Amino acid sequence: MGGVSDGGEQRQPVRVVLVDDHPVVRAGLRALLGGQDDLDVVGEAGDLAAAERVVVAQRPDVVLMDLSLGDGPGGAETTARLRALPHPPQVLVLTTYDTEADILRALEAGALGYLLKDAPPDQLFAGIRATARGETVLAASVAARLVRRTASPGPVVTEREVEVLELLARGLANREMARELLVSEATVKSHLSHIYTKLGVDTRAGAVAAAIDRRIIRSSG
User: Three-state SS string across the chain, please?
Assistant: CCEECCCCCEECCEEEEEECCCHHHHHHHHHHHCCCCCEEEEEEECCHHHHHHHHHHHCCCEEEECCCCCCCCCHHHHHHHHHCCCCCCEEEEEECCCCHHHHHHHHHHCCCEEEECCCCHHHHHHHHHHHHCCCCEECHHHHHHHHHHHHCCCCCCCHHHHHHHHHHHCCCCHHHHHHHHCCCHHHHHHHHHHHHHHHCCCCHHHHHHHHHHCCCCCCCC
- Those residues with Cβ within 8 angstroms of residue 160's Cβ, 6 or more apart along the chain or in another chain: 181, 191
Q: By C-alpha distance, which of 22, 63, 28, 24 is closest to 42?
A: 63
Q: What Cα–Cα distance (Å) separates residue 4 from each residue in 10, 13, 100?
A: 5, 9, 38
For residue 193, give the nearest of 150, 151, 155, 219 by alpha carbon.
155
**Dmax (CA) of the chain:** 65
Q: Residues 148-203: pLDDT tens digits?
A: 777 665 677 888 898 899 899 989 999 999 999 999 999 999 999 999 988 888 88
Q: Which of 40-54, 60-74, 150-164, 192-206: highest mean pLDDT?
A: 40-54
How far from 14 is each of 6, 78, 90, 217, CA to CA, in Å? 15, 21, 11, 34
Separation between Cα atoms, residue 108 and residue 173, nearest integer Å = 28
pTM for the predicted model, two decimal places:
0.74
pLDDT in tens, 76-129: 999 999 999 999 999 999 999 888 888 988 999 999 999 999 999 999 999 999
Q: Regarding predicted confidence, which is higher, 151 or 54?
A: 54
Which pLDDT score, from 0 to 100, does residue 154 have? 65
Which residue type, as a one-letter code, is found at position 154? G
Question: Per mean pLDDT, which range of 6-10, 46-50, 178-182 is the poorest?
Answer: 6-10
Strands 39-45 and 3-4: unpaired
- What's the distance, CA 200 to chain centroid? 28
Domains of the chain from N-terminus onward: 3-148 (3.40.50.2300), 159-213 (1.10.10.10)
Highest mean pLDDT among 10-19, 25-34, 201-210: 25-34
Return the pLDDT at 2: 44
